[in-house]
């Protein structure tokens, strides 16, 4: 192989990557403008739509949670525990989501414990069944019920999907949503 053949093979090897790089550089502003519009990203078997789903749930339950009267005194233990979870979002977003969901379930159980005639073994009832019972008795609005079902699905994906990736901002929104739902339940369970 002489130097002309060598040069020809190098140019041939670098031609397509160079063209792609030039096109990307020429269109970088257009590509950057499209990225925020992405609603779904698929990597292997995982679709990343966590943040978008949290926004949908937030919009769904906001009319109910935003009209709550301001809490007086100290925040509840559950709300305080959620506040502490913000510290671990960057370290373990999955743990923050799972722990927040535990607090939501605990608040849900407290609502159930106040229901007259309700079996006192409510702790042994799965959360989904408990949600259905409380909705059927009119203690949870339909939009809160739907939002909780969607939050539960996100929590399950975060806990069980190996390739589930999420942004810190999406997790923070999930935590905020959890606090709002817990506050709603606490207001309901007050005497």
**Residues 24, 47 within the same domain:** no
Q: Is the same domain home to 50 and 11?
A: no
Q: Answer yes or no: do 126 and 177 share one domain.
A: yes
Specify the pLDDT at position 9: 83
Is 50 in the same domain as 137?
A: yes
Cα distance between residue 139 and residue 24, in whole Å: 54
59 and 82 in a common domain = yes
**pLDDT (average), residues 52-64:** 69
Q: Using CA atoms, how far apart are residues 162 and 167, in angstroms rounded to an integer? A: 16
* Chain segment 85-111, per-residue pLDDT in tens: 888 888 888 888 998 998 888 888 877
Question: Where is average pLDDT lowest: 37-46, 133-142, 177-186?
Answer: 37-46
- Average pLDDT of the segment spanning 103-124: 73
- Total tally of structural domains belonging to the chain: 2
Domain that holds residue 68: 40-189
Which CATH number belongs to the domain containing residue 116 in this structure?
A: 1.20.120
Residues 166, 177: Cα–Cα separation, whole Å:
16
Give yes or no: residues 46 and 31 share one domain.
no
The residue-averaged pLDDT of 150-172 equals 83
**pLDDT at residue 125 greater than cutoff 80:** no
43 versus 104: which is more confidently predicted?
104
9 and 60 housed in the same domain: no
Domain identity same for 101 and 119 = yes
Same domain, 127 and 94: yes
- Write out the two tokens for 52: 């978008």
Same-domain status, 59 and 7: no
Clarify whether residues 18 and 111 are in a common domain: no
Average pLDDT, the chain: 75
Q: What is the pLDDT of residue 118?
A: 61
Please give the model's pTM, rounded to 2 decimal places.
0.61
| The CA-based dihedral angle spanning residues 117, 123, 125, 127, taken in that order and rounded to the nearest 10 degrees | 110
Q: Which residues contact 54 (CB under 8 A, 6 or more apart)?
A: 154, 170, 173, 174, 177
């Amino acid at each position: 192989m002489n130097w002309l053949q060598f040069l020809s093979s190098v140019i041939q090897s670098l031609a397509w990557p160079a063209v792609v790089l030039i096109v990307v550089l020429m269109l970088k502003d257009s590509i950057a403008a499209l990225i925020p519009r992405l609603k779904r990203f698929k990597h292997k078997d995982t679709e990343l739509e966590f943040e978008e789903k949290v926004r949908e749930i937030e919009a769904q339950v906001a009319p109910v949670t935003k009209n709550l009267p301001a809490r007086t005194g100290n925040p509840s233990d559950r709300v305080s525990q959620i506040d502490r979870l913000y510290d671990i979002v960057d370290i373990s977003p999955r743990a923050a989501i799972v722990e927040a969901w535990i607090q939501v379930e605990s608040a849900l159980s407290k609502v159930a414990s106040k229901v007259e005639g309700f079996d006192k073994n409510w702790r042994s009832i799965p959360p989904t069944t408990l949600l259905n019972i409380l909705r059927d008795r009119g203690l949870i609005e339909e939009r809160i019920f739907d939002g909780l079902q969607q939050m539960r699905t996100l929590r399950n994906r975060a806990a069980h999907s190996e390739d589930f990736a999420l942004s810190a901002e999406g997790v923070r929104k999930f935590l905020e949503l959890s606090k709002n739902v817990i506050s709603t339940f606490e207001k309901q369970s007050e005497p």
